[in-house]
Copies of this chain bind each other. A is one copy, B any other.
């Protein structure tokens, strides 16, 4: 039957065949528990890049789960770009060090996370007739009243960005004190608004004299520009922003997954 031409079955390259277990008394879904364990194994190196995960049916049997549940766990990691499936081959960990995809975060939180001591100076917090662009993106009649917030964002006391936001009226109360203490997205989440997605356009242009004065850059200095419309879970636009950043101090980093 078998011949010696075949190489012996090589066990998983990792010494310990990976400790996996699920807690059925936990309220956390089983597929989610498994996905978390696999993800942390990838992060800590317990699952080496390129290594094959055992086949789904065997894995399901070992854990006492059904195959669909195991598939759901693996699929969530594939969606995150951490693993790749190939029919007839198996499921393997991708080779690259994958950075987590950028969350929809505020500049304030980005600066906080980078240890940059962010601060905000509110230049304007008022209600005004909507411009054509703001009205179109927020889905309100042109000229109807919207909240307009204009802020200067500082890090270590140095200006970083000038942020102009338009919001629907009555979405949430925005006190100037709150706006100086934290970021807009944090306030919105705190008010029970679920942020869901955003459409962004990033470009560049030269600073006007006025913009240069605000940002401590010479006139004509390169600025990064971003226009962003943010939607809640129901797809309603909850914020339209038009921002400029000092190019010398800031860049955008993000990850694209190819749709398959």
Name the contact of A235 in the complex, choosing from B79, B84, B203 (C-beta under 8 A). B84
Known contacts: A50-B234, A235-B84, A235-B94. The answer to whether A103 contacts B202 by CB under 8 A is: no
Pair A81/B255 contact, Cβ less than 8 Å: no
User: C-beta contact mask, A190-207 vs B, less than 8 Å → 1, else 0?
Assistant: 000001111111111110
Query: Contacting A196 at CB < 8 Å: which of B84, B101, B205, B253?
Result: B84
Q: A197-B256, A201-B251, A255-B198 are in contact. Are A220 and B220 (CB under 8 A)?
A: yes
A interface residue count range (under 10 / 10 to 19 / 20 to 34 / 35 or more): 35 or more
Docked-complex contact B235 and A197, CB < 8 angstroms: no
A202 to B253, CA, bound (A): 6
The reply to whether A254 and B200 contact each other, CB–CB distance below 8 Å, is yes
| A205 with B231, Cβ < 8 A, contacts A79-B79, A101-B259, A254-B254 known | no
- How many copies of this protein are present in the complex? 2
Known: A84-B196, A223-B222, A258-B196. Contact between A96 and B253, CB under 8 A?
Answer: no
Chain B neighbourhood of A204, CB < 8 A: 204, 222-224, 247
User: How many Å from the CB of A91 to the closest CB on chain B?
Assistant: 12
- With CB as the reference atom, state the residue of chain B lying closest to A82: B235
Once bound together, how far apart are the Cα atoms of A51 and B243, in whole Å? 34
Residue among B205, B235, B247 making CB contact with A96, cutoff 8 Å:
B235
Name the distance in Å between A89's Cβ and chain B's nearest Cβ.
11
Please tell me if A257 contacts chain B, counting CB pairs below 8 Å.
Answer: yes
In the assembled complex, which residues on chain B have CB atoms less than 8 Å from the CB atom of A247? 203-205, 222
Knowing that A199-B254, A205-B222 touch, tell me 18 more A-B residue pairs with CB under 8 angstroms. Answer: A49-B235, A50-B234, A84-B234, A94-B231, A94-B235, A95-B236, A99-B199, A103-B258, A197-B257, A198-B256, A199-B253, A200-B253, A201-B252, A202-B251, A204-B223, A205-B247, A206-B222, A222-B222
Closest 5 CB pairs of A and B: A94-B235, A203-B251, A204-B247, A204-B204, A95-B235
Q: List 7 A-B residue pairs with CB atoms under 8 Å apart, sorted by A's residue number.
A: A93-B235, A99-B199, A202-B202, A202-B224, A202-B252, A203-B224, A204-B204
